[in-house]
Amino acid sequence: MKKWLIPLLAALLLWRLLPSVPEESTEEVPVEVPDPSPDTAVIPALWQPAPPRVEEVRSEQEDSGKTISEEAAAPSGRDASERIRLLTPGGVITLSLRDYLIGVVAAEMPASFELEALKAQAVASRSCTLHNLRFGQSRHSEAEVCTSSACCQAYRSDEELRSRWGDNYAVYLDKITEAVDATDGLCLYYGEELIYAPYHSSSAGATEDSSAIWSAAPYLVSVESPETEALVPGYCVSVSFTEEELKEKLAASYPGLKEQPLLIGEISYTASGRVESVDLGGQKIPATRLRSLLALRSTSFTLEKVDGKYIFTTQGWGHGVGMSQYGAEALAMEGEDSASILSRYYQGTELRPFED
């Protein structure tokens, strides 16, 4: 074989082994931090204490797998020095807080958002993570966090991001990495307290006061939020149920409703304008419970009965407490920086490096 053919064949073989990426990438609606149980939630310790630790379950990837930020030079900052155990579908891996946050911000907020909004998200996600680590609020015995937004915060691996972003992978990864590195080690404090910083996708004009659904926290009060229907995909959504469908969905929690007509009675509201409770068939049902049982996007909704169907029309998406992600984007588009955005949604807090 001629010598000049050897590098050519090697290059062709390497090209065949590289993973393919889709021609187009899509952006998703941001994913909110899951709602703590209304029955057990306490601010700032929103989640239940972790059970006693058992022998750790580890995958072959631990301390040796490819990390999301491998494309960028890892700085020797606070985030890079903090280690965290992440429960993935393939097992437990250990990675730096920096790498973890890059995967979280990439999963929780569209990379197309303004850099200042992404920086605000990085601080909120870091505060949530470190609060739970410092106060033992993990739901897992074998790891501090997992990859599910229904439990902890959403997280996407390098492979998932390559598939999701396609040709935009390098640009978006650089942008997310910049947001995390620019806020390296910064968290939100209320006085001397490292806060838990919940967030949600979008609000209908104002965020919710934490006391309306969990317990009161002085930094989680209702504030105006500027996002509009023009900015937010799926901002206004209607779902309908027949009377039998509605009774079936409510039966497990309210079995008495199966025996009587579901007349719509008084609807009460919180100070932010969200529904507090609904009287259905003489039963007063908290709006947070209705949202859970009916999979409604928010408690900011209207309810009417038309042609025998109960129509719920929601505005916004999420529990409404803390930072609105689309609100943060709207503010960033108006020129506000991440510190200003965070001070709006977490009233009276201070931005400073986390303390061991």
Whether 28 shows a pLDDT value over 90: the answer reads no
- For the residues 215-241, what does the mean pLDDT come to? 97
Q: Among 37, 103, 120, which Cα is nearest to 344's?
A: 120
**Percent over 90 (pLDDT), the chain:** 74
Q: What DSSP assignment string belongs to 240-276?
A: EEEHHHHHHHHTTT-GGGGGS---EEEEEE-TTS-EE
**Could you tell me the pTM of the whole model?**
0.81
Split at pLDDT 50, 70, 90, the class of 17 is: very low
pLDDT of the residue at 135: 86
Mean pLDDT of the chain: 84
pLDDT of the residue at 225: 98
**Percent over 70 (pLDDT), the chain:** 79
Residues 6+ apart with CB under 8 A from 335: none
Between 254 and 38, the higher pLDDT residue? 254
pLDDT of the residue at 32: 56
C-alpha to C-alpha distance for 210 and 274, rounded to whole angstroms: 12
Residue with tokens 């609000």: 203
Between 79 and 27, the higher pLDDT residue? 79
pLDDT of the residue at 68: 52
353 three-state secondary structure: strand
106 three-state secondary structure: helix
Whether 131 shows a pLDDT value over 60: the answer reads yes
Strands (DSSP E) contained in the chain are: 83-88, 91-96, 145-146, 186-190, 193-194, 199-200, 236-242, 264-269, 275-280, 283-286, 301-306, 309-315, 323-324, 350-353
Burial class of residue 12 (count of CB atoms within 10 Å of its CB; 0-12, 13-18, 19+): exposed
C-alpha to C-alpha distance for 166 and 97, rounded to whole angstroms: 25
Residue-wise pLDDT tens digits, 315-352: 999 999 999 999 999 999 999 999 999 999 999 999 99
Split at pLDDT 50, 70, 90, the class of 355 is: confident
Whether 240 shows a pLDDT value over 90: the answer reads yes
Whether 22 shows a pLDDT value over 90: the answer reads no
pLDDT of the residue at 75: 55
- For the residues 257-285, what does the mean pLDDT come to? 96
202 three-state secondary structure: strand
pLDDT of the residue at 34: 53
> What letter would DSSP give residue 211?
G
Spell out the domain ranges in the chain.
20-199+320-353, 236-315
pLDDT of the residue at 261: 93
Whether 100 shows a pLDDT value over 70: the answer reads yes
pLDDT of the residue at 44: 37
pLDDT of the residue at 296: 98
- For the residues 277-291, what does the mean pLDDT come to? 97
Q: Are 247 and 256 in contact (CB under 8 A)?
A: no
